[in-house]
Amino acid sequence: MDIQGLPGRLLADLGPAIASGEIPAGTVLRSEELEARYGVSRTVVREAVRILESMRMVAPKRRVGITVQPKSGWDVFDPMVIRWRLAGADRSAQLRSLGSLRVAVEPAAAGLAARHATDDQRRELSALAVELTVTARAADLKTFLKHDIAFHATILKASGNEMFAHLGDTVGAVLTGRTEHQLMPHQPRPYAVRLHREVADAICAGDAELAEQSMRTIVVGALEELDATLG
């Protein structure tokens, strides 16, 4: 889990409940009620609520209570919020949003990686591309997923942009969610695998243009597949 201790347990319960809409916007919670419900002290409730407040999911107000805020105000880039939404009823919307974000960011990251990646990173990408090919052919989805995540994360890191780099975990969550919820074919498409290898080769060769273009094909394809599956 993320935050440790009792506040973490509160968060782990309240966060997903709010993120999924189970506790709808406008609902007013009271500290005392939360203390009773979870059998914890004010201290714990306050700390958990403070964190939710910093994500703009709730807004405590004197004489009123703790009001659940509308989704439009949430910190949608907060990793916890993303995870909670992916885990709950809001998964489709979250996957769509993240899909578009990937289409915007990952090609750019691939282009930058072709310029800035270290030799180690280039080697790593090559190795991962090989692994992807092998595990795809063997239809070993679990291992494939692991390497796919590493592949995309490595490129984001290799871009040299700290903000891109931090999207590695998020992309990982997307790929995991996609696999876990049967939004993937039983065996990765050979064409997609070939594109991964193309990206790796382009980055190794320092061909930013090609890396960007191939990566765009990958993520656009993923987004289209998602749209098709979700209707």
Residues 81 and 69: their CA atoms lie apart, in Å, by 13
62, with CB counted inside 10 A (0-12, 13-18, 19+), is exposed
* Beta carbons within 8 Å of 55's beta carbon, 6+ residues apart: 74, 75, 78, 80, 81
Q: What does 97 interact with, of a copy of itself, DNA, none (CB < 5 to 8 A by kind)?
A: a copy of itself
Site track 83-112 with DNA (rule: CB under 7 A), x = hit:
------------------------------
Q: Name the binder of 65 from a copy of itself, DNA, none, CB < 5-8 A by kind.
A: DNA
Residue 10 vs 110, nearer CB to DNA: 10
By a kind-dependent CB cut-off of 5 to 8 A, residue 69 interacts, out of a copy of itself, DNA, none, with: none
Closest to DNA by CB, 62 vs 142, is 62
The β-bridge partners of 65 are: 61
Closer to DNA by CB, 47 or 201: give it: 47
Burial of 190 (0-12, 13-18, 19+ CB in 10 A): exposed
Q: Does 61 bind DNA (CB under 7 A)?
A: yes
Q: Which residue lies nearer to a copy of itself by CB, 30 or 189?
A: 30
CA 168, CA 85: separation in Å to the nearest integer? 17
- Binding residues for a copy of itself, rule: CB under 8 A, are 2-3, 7, 43, 46-47, 50-51, 53-55, 71-72, 75-80, 93, 96-98, 100-101, 103-105, 107-109, 112, 159, 161-164, 166
Tell me the three state secondary structure of residue 135: helix
Chain residues in the site for DNA (CB under 7 A): 4-7, 29-32, 39-44, 46-47, 49, 60-66
